[in-house]
Amino acid sequence: MRALLILMAALMLGAFVAPERPLGDPAQEARALNLFKELRCPTCIAQSIHDSNADIAGDLRVIVREQIAQGRTNEEIRNYLVARYGDVILLRPPVNGTTLPLWLGPWLIFLVGGGIVFVAMRRHRVKSD
Amino acid sequence: MSAELGFLSLLLALGCALLQSYAAFTKTPQGLALAVSASRAQAVAALASFLFLLASFAASDFSVTNVVANSHSTKPMFFKIAAGWGNHEGSMLLWAMILSLYGAFFAQFTGRKSVDGRFAIGVMGLLSAGVLAFIALASNPFWRQIPAATDGRGLNPLLQDIGLIIHPPMLYLGYVGFAVPFAMAMGALAKGTIDKEWAKRSRPWMLIAWGFLTWGIVLGSWWAYRELGWGGYWFWDPVENASLLPWLVGAALVHSTLVLERRGGFPGWTVLLAIITFSLSLIGTFIVRSGLLTSVHAFAVDPARGLAILIYLLVAIGSAMALFVWRAKSFEADIHFTPASREAMILVNNLVMSSAAAAIFLGTLYPLLIDAIGAAPLSVGAPFFAATAIPLFIIGMAAMGLAPLAIWRKGTLMQALGQSRFALGIALAGIALTIALKPGSLMGPLAVGAALWVGAGTVTYGVKQRKMRWTLDQWAMVLGHLGLAIAALGMASTALFSTEVSQAVKPGEIVQLGKVQARFDGITGVRGPNFTAERAQISLLGEDGKVSRTLYPERRFYPASGMPTTEAAIDSHFLGDLHVTVSALTEKEGEKTIVKGWAVRLFYRPLIGWIWVGAALTGLGSLIGGFGIGWRRRRQNQTNAAQPQGAS
């Protein structure tokens, strides 16, 4: 709830940047940094909140750190953010019906291409001389 | 005056381009000579046009709309001139000029020597004519405005950087360079046959284009590292992806052409790759310049122009593909090779590069597609590309380490592996060490292993061949592969072992990151030529507590554009970079923004410099190969041509 209040305050005040403090527990801080890299900065194009120096990215970092400190799991934090921003907040698109072609396409090309190469190679085998 | 002269030169270049292609397609000897001359005249006119544009920028001629929009009287001269190509219109003219230059050199050194080359001169002329007409009609950089403005409207301050000034010309030398193999492919299709000679004539041009493209991408990434946010070097941004696509397919192309040259294999596939590579270069330009994909690079967004570029693109790619479908069936090759021969390894390269390109193409366009069908918007970012492309690259690198040691046609796995024992040992040691240092990661150790495998495999090849006199091809391969191994090691190390800390600080306070101790000494206000800045002084303390180096990260504000930027200070070393940024902690009270304090962020990125050094080496290898082989062949041809005369 406090996170939501901070977010609302941030949106109202525009340029407010909460001082960012790393979490005391190094393991928790490492978790936070990894999570930052998966979350998109909503006002940026391709940057994660880890890489962006936009104000909103800073606010989201504060929220993620707070939720980690409150003992929430990564899954819970992701769900929390998806509920507010939609899937667009995730830099790793979820695997579902609409994203199946995206996730499988490249490997399909690799396997089909590999199959064609394999068959062609067998047909054009070097005659042992 | 220079704007009018520039426009006239542009029209002259357009006329020459049309004449060039008309003359090249007529089947008379005079036609060929005329086409070569026209290509030369076109290059001179296009170059003149570009220089006239730069002259308008140098003189700050604020009656030229383009100068008003993109320059400012307070800018340093160097950046004023560079602003000439830092915008849509200017960069299109740069693109066209480079195409004209390639066209003239190609006609002179390669095109006029063969039937397919002659057709290619015609195609180069058509490609030029299309772009020049587009510039003259829809994207004129010489447009005047009345009354003249009193001053310009500046330029994005992020673009005022040396890396970004050389980045577009370098990238365009790469993109546009692939027009030559594209035109040669059209020539081969028109002629109906393709042979080893075609590969010999085309490959130097491919290597030149690919080398420049590599350098262009490296420069862009180096710029992003120093200027954008907090030192990411690759964001998988749509525009970055767009430049990576022709790079990947181009890498497949130079290798498959090698098989065509040595063994006469893969002719149809090679021609298709040549068409796709240039098509992707065109799409890369299109994506940046149309604003179709919004990205940090879309400084000029104009869909109407995008449509014109799209039409150009469809005509060029469409006709090439139609010609391919119609004629390529006659390109049959009957070559035989074993599953562990050099040819097979190159096929793995081709397969991996094509699949990776498909993954990046799909990932870049998928959000648009989703948007178009009206589904809930989604993002495709770094985690997707890492999860898809990295395993593919690791597979490719497994073959890459083996390829130079595998023999043509009848190599066996035992033969190649037998020579790779040293490389295998190094790679396994690297994997074990990485697992020990960073338990729990799967791709990380494999990436380190793959990089070491390629590096050690290339070294093994070099040692084995040390008594020989190396050909330029061998130099190109060794430098290219070694550079790639170095870059891959830098990427893996940066991804696995980077550390960072961010902390709110008061003057005199020390921020600790591993062994690094950085003392925040305070902030001073400074004034640059066209910006004001808050400059922090950060002292790095040695183990004895004494100051070993002082860094000055800044927060800059450019009044002309109203944009604040973060200037990182970077302490670069052979083994890694310390990257320092400072940001203000502010609060709004009513209308005023009040600075409450300062925060310092420290990043340590081990081996990150190896990425650019390695990739630059790869580009260098390709350029040495391209220019060197091209030059030697020319000398050979000259001596061959001289001998019969001497005999008679």
- The rounded distance, in Å, linking the Cα atoms of B530 and A61 is 33
Q: Search chain B and give the residue with CA nearest A88.
A: B378
Domain range annotation of chain A:
2-92, 95-129
Contact B375 A101 (CB under 8 A): no
* Angle at which helices B421-437 and B443-464 cross, to 10°: 150
Contact across the interface for A14 and B588, Cβ inside 8 Å? yes
pLDDT at A11: 42
- What is the C-alpha separation between B609 and A58, in angstroms, rounded? 27
The ipTM estimated for the assembled molecules is 0.82
Q: How far is B203 from chain A (nearest CA, A)?
A: 23
Structure confidence at residue B372 (pLDDT):
78
Per-residue pLDDT tens digits for B63-73: 998 898 888 88
* Residues B41, B43, B48, B50, Cα dihedral to 10°: 150
Summarize pLDDT for B163-179 with one digit per residue, the tens. 778 888 999 999 999 99
Closest CA to B308 of B560, B136, B99: B136
Supply the pLDDT for residue B156.
66
The DSSP secondary-structure symbol of B500 reads E
Helix or strand (DSSP H, E) at B488: helix B472-497
- On the question of pLDDT at B229 being above 70, the answer is no
Beta-bridged to residue B173, according to DSSP, are none
Residue to substitute from A89, A121, A127, interface B, most B β-carbons within 10 A: A121
- Kindly report, as residue ranges, where domains of CATH 1.20.120 are found in chain B: 1-155
Domain B1-155 has CATH 3.30.70: no
Partner-chain residue, chosen from B236, B338, B376, that has the shortest CB–CB distance to A46: B236
Fold of A2-92: Helicase, Ruva Protein; domain 3 (1.10.8)
For residue B229, give the nearest of A47, A99, A101 by CB distance.
A47
Q: Scanning every residue of chain A, which has its alpha carbon at the shortest distance from the alpha carbon of B410?
A: A126
Structure letter (DSSP) for residue A45: S
Confidence at residue A15, expressed as pLDDT on a 0 to 100 scale: 38
Task: Determine how β-strand B563-567 pairs with β-strand B547-551.
Answer: unpaired
Q: DSSP letters along B17-48, please?
A: HHHHHHHHHS-SHHHHHHHHHHHHHHHHHHHH
Looking at residue B22, its pLDDT comes to: 95
pLDDT of res. B647: 42
Q: Which of A114-118, B15-19, B176-180, B401-405 has the lowest mean pLDDT?
A: A114-118
Check CB contact of A84 with chain B, cutoff 8 Å: no
Amino acid at B390: I
Contact A117 B351 (CB under 8 A): yes
Are the beta carbons of B230 and A53 separated by less than 8 Å? yes
pLDDT confidence tier of residue A1, bands split at 50, 70 and 90? very low
Contact between B424 and B405 (Cβ < 8 Å): no
Q: Considering CB atoms only, which of A21, A38, A121 is closest to B383? A: A38
The pLDDT value given to residue B155: 58
pLDDT-derived band of residue B54, with 50, 70 and 90 as boundaries?
A: very high
Nearest in space to B381 (alpha carbons), one of A2, A8, A48, A12: A48
According to the model, what pLDDT value does residue B331 have?
A: 82
Other Cβ atoms within 10 Å of B101 Cβ, number: 18
Query: How far is the C-alpha of A43 from the C-alpha of B592, rounded, in Å?
Result: 23
Choice among A22-31, B124-133, B388-397, B511-520 with the minimum mean pLDDT: A22-31
pLDDT digits 0-9 by tens, A72-127 = 999 999 999 999 998 889 999 989 888 899 999 999 999 999 998 888 777 766 55
Q: What percent of chain B has pLDDT over 90?
A: 56
Q: Quote the pLDDT of residue A128.
A: 47
**A22 in B contact zone (CB under 8 Å):** yes
Whether the per-residue pLDDT at B646 is higher than 70: the answer is no
Does B363 sit within 8 Å of A15, measured CB to CB?
no
Indicate yes or no: CB of A40 within 8 angstroms of CB of B237: no
The answer to whether A70 faces chain B, any CB pair under 8 Å, is no
> Does A83 contact chain B (CB < 8 Å)?
no
Whether the predicted pLDDT of A18 surpasses 50: no
Reduced to 3 states (helix: H, G, I; strand: E, B; else coil), residue B614 is helix
What does the pLDDT look like over A26-41, one tens digit per residue? Answer: 888 888 988 998 999 8
Cβ pairs bridging A and B (under 8 Å): 152
Q: Which residues of A touch B220 (CB under 8 A)?
A: none
Residue B224 CA to residue B487 CA, distance in Å, equals: 17
Mean of the pLDDT values across residues B263-276? 93
CB contact under 8 A, A45 and B503: no
All residues of chain B having their beta carbon less than 8 Å from the beta carbon of residue A12 are none
Instruction: Write out chain A residues lying below 8 Å of B236, CB-based.
Output: 46
Q: How many residues does chain B have?
A: 648
Contacts of A92 in chain B (CB under 8 A): 381, 383-384, 387
Which residue of A48, A50, A56, A116 to mutate against B (max B Cβ within 10 Å)?
Answer: A48
C-alpha–C-alpha distance, residues B185 and B267, integer Å: 10
The mean of the pLDDT values for chain B is 89
